[in-house]
């Protein structure tokens, strides 16, 4: 039996809680969160024996094998490092940390402890992303040399005045929040090319005027009075060491169509492909088309995919790794998520300097 603790009661924490509860041979032993009524409700619903307010209390629970962290970004590093130092495996929500410096401290802790540190990149587990990965890996498109990836919202700032819009607490706006998902699945699809330079722009045109907040989230007067410290739209041009390039777009609030858009296009030497997901995360399968030739004639086609399992697959993959051979653990030390953090850092540095920047280790 694998015994886990879940830290955080929001949407992500509830996804982790449900997925762990459904996994075979897993017991959710502890649940931590500051919202007393919600903690009791979720604890009762999933039969969690230890219900505590703080993450420090949860780490004191005996017999834990692993914890999942689904709390505001500024807490990722301190919780993960403390858990790893106690010999626990860690699954952390994205992004890894507020910046690559914090992320590196988490990776270092995982290596010292000899434990797993994974990050919940659930969008790469989408069925349409997996189908597109199969097309690219088959060689049907030839060598990929250009890609464009986006997640755009019309009115989707998570909560004006909350930790999401505090630079100190979140690390940034949509580029680090939803852009990191887009960056992750783009790098995954392109077979992990190494970023060399980044040229980025960031804009705070709507949130600073109290516009662009998600309609389904209430905002208190106290929240509304807080300063808006992050961008609401960002774009980046990333060059890789193999000569290929990626355009990355992430927007919480832009004057565009009402439906969110998750999007990916790739051009290769033998073909191209386009994934269009109107409704973004709420749409289980998007429209996927492949563009290619056969004997000099156009042979484009649509590809049908099954829905993916999202956080359910994230949790299953995590459980399989920590139950596997210890040699596997070394390949799951947070390094992949750290590379994303380094690129996001470069995006913010470039936007602030208004010029192209080179990644430090490129």
Q: Domain check: are 34 and 117 in the same one?
A: yes
Q: How confident is the model over 237-248, as pLDDT tens digits?
A: 999 999 999 999
Domain assignment of residue 216, yes or no: yes
Q: How confident is the model over 296-317, as pLDDT tens digits?
A: 889 999 999 999 999 999 999 9
Domain assignment of residue 340, yes or no: no
pLDDT of residue 296: 84
What distance in Å separates the CA atoms of residue 212 and residue 255, rounded to the nearest whole number? Answer: 9
Pairing verdict, β 245-251 and 233-240: antiparallel
Q: How confident is the model over 10-60, as pLDDT tens digits?
A: 999 999 999 999 999 999 999 999 999 999 999 999 999 999 999 999 999
Report the number of distinct structural domains present in the chain. Answer: 2
Domain assignment of residue 19, yes or no: yes
Domain assignment of residue 92, yes or no: yes
Q: Domain check: are 170 and 243 in the same one?
A: yes
pLDDT of residue 217: 62
Q: Domain check: are 300 and 320 in the same one?
A: no
pLDDT of residue 141: 98
Q: How confident is the model over 247-293, as pLDDT tens digits?
A: 999 999 999 999 999 999 999 999 999 999 999 888 999 999 999 99
User: Using alpha carbons only, what angle is made at residue 121 by residues 52 and 257, rounded to the nearest 5 degrees?
Assistant: 110
Distant-in-sequence, close-in-space partners of 342: CB < 8 Å, separation ≥ 6: 100, 103, 195, 359, 360, 361
pLDDT of residue 281: 84
CATH number at residue 273: 3.30.360.10
Q: Domain check: are 182 and 106 in the same one?
A: no
Q: Domain check: are 255 and 188 in the same one?
A: yes
Q: Domain check: are 113 and 167 in the same one?
A: no
What distance in Å separates the CA atoms of residue 45 and residue 31, rounded to the nearest whole number? Answer: 12
Residue 219 has pLDDT above 90, yes or no: no
Task: Quote the mean pLDDT of the chain.
Answer: 95
Domain assignment of residue 41, yes or no: yes
Torsion angle of the four alpha carbons 31, 37, 38, 42, in this order, in degrees rounded to the nearest 10: 60
Q: How confident is the model over 53-85, as pLDDT tens digits?
A: 999 999 999 999 999 999 999 999 999 999 999
Domain assignment of residue 350, yes or no: no
Q: Domain check: are 133 and 44 in the same one?
A: no
Q: Domain check: are 104 and 165 in the same one?
A: no
Domain around 191 = 123-308
pLDDT of residue 220: 59
Domain assignment of residue 348, yes or no: no
Q: How confident is the model over 150-173, as pLDDT tens digits?
A: 999 999 999 888 999 999 999 999
pLDDT of residue 221: 52
CATH number at residue 91: 3.40.50.720
Q: Show the tokens assigned to 145.
A: 């040399």
Query: Residue 224 — very low, low, confident or very high, per pLDDT cuts 50/70/90?
Result: low
What distance in Å separates the CA atoms of residue 271 and residue 267, rounded to the nearest whole number? Answer: 6
Q: Domain check: are 156 and 96 in the same one?
A: no
Q: Domain check: are 109 and 225 in the same one?
A: no
Question: What's the average model confidence in pLDDT over 218-226?
Answer: 60
pLDDT of residue 231: 98
Q: DSSP for 70-121, please give it.
A: -S-GGGHHHHHHHHHHTT-EEEEESSSSSSHHHHHHHHHHHHHHT--EEEE-
Question: What's the average model confidence in pLDDT over 131-147?
Answer: 98
User: Using alpha carbons only, what angle is made at residue 339 by residues 153 and 89, rounded to the nearest 5 degrees?
Assistant: 100
Q: Domain check: are 160 and 255 in the same one?
A: yes
Domain assignment of residue 355, yes or no: no
Q: Domain check: are 75 and 91 in the same one?
A: yes
pLDDT of residue 54: 98
């Amino acid at each position: 039996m694998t015994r886990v603790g879940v830290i955080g009661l929001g949407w992500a924490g509830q996804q982790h809680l449900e997925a762990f509860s459904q996994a075979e041979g897993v017991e959710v032993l502890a649940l931590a969160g500051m919202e007393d009524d919600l903690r009791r409700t979720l604890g009762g619903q999933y039969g969690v024996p230890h219900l505590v307010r703080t993450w420090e209390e949860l780490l004191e629970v005996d017999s834990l094998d692993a914890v999942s962290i689904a709390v505001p970004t500024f807490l990722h590093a301190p919780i993960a490092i403390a858990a790893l130092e106690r010999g626990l495996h860690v699954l952390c929500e994205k992004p890894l940390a507020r910046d690559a410096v914090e992320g590196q401290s988490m990776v270092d802790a995982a290596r010292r402890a000899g434990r797993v540190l994974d990050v919940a990149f659930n969008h790469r587990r989408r069925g349409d992303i997996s189908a597109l990965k199969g097309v690219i890996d088959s060689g049907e498109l030839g060598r990929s040399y250009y890609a464009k990836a986006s997640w755009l919202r019309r009115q989707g700032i998570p909560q004006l005045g909350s930790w999401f819009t505090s630079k100190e607490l979140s690390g940034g706006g949509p580029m680090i929040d939803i852009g990191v998902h887009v960056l992750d699945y783009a790098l995954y699809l392109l077979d992990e090319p190494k970023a060399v330079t980044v040229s980025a722009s960031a804009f705070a045109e709507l949130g600073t005027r109290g516009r662009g907040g998600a309609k389904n989230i209430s905002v208190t007067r106290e929240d509304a009075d807080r300063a808006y410290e992050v961008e609401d739209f960002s774009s980046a041009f990333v060059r890789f060491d193999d000569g290929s390039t990626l355009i990355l777009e992430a927007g919480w609030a832009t004057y565009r169509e009402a439906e969110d858009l998750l999007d990916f296009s790739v051009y290769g030497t033998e073909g191209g492909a386009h994934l269009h997901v109107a409704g973004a995360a709420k749409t289980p399968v998007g429209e996927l088309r492949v563009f290619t030739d056969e004997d000099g004639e156009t042979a484009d086609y649509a590809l049908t995919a099954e829905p993916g399992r999202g956080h359910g697959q994230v949790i299953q993959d995590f459980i399989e790794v920590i139950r596997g051979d210890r040699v596997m653990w070394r390949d799951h030390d947070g390094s992949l998520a750290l590379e994303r953090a380094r690129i996001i850092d470069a995006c913010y540095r470039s936007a602030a300097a208004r010029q192209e920047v080179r990644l430090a280790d490129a």
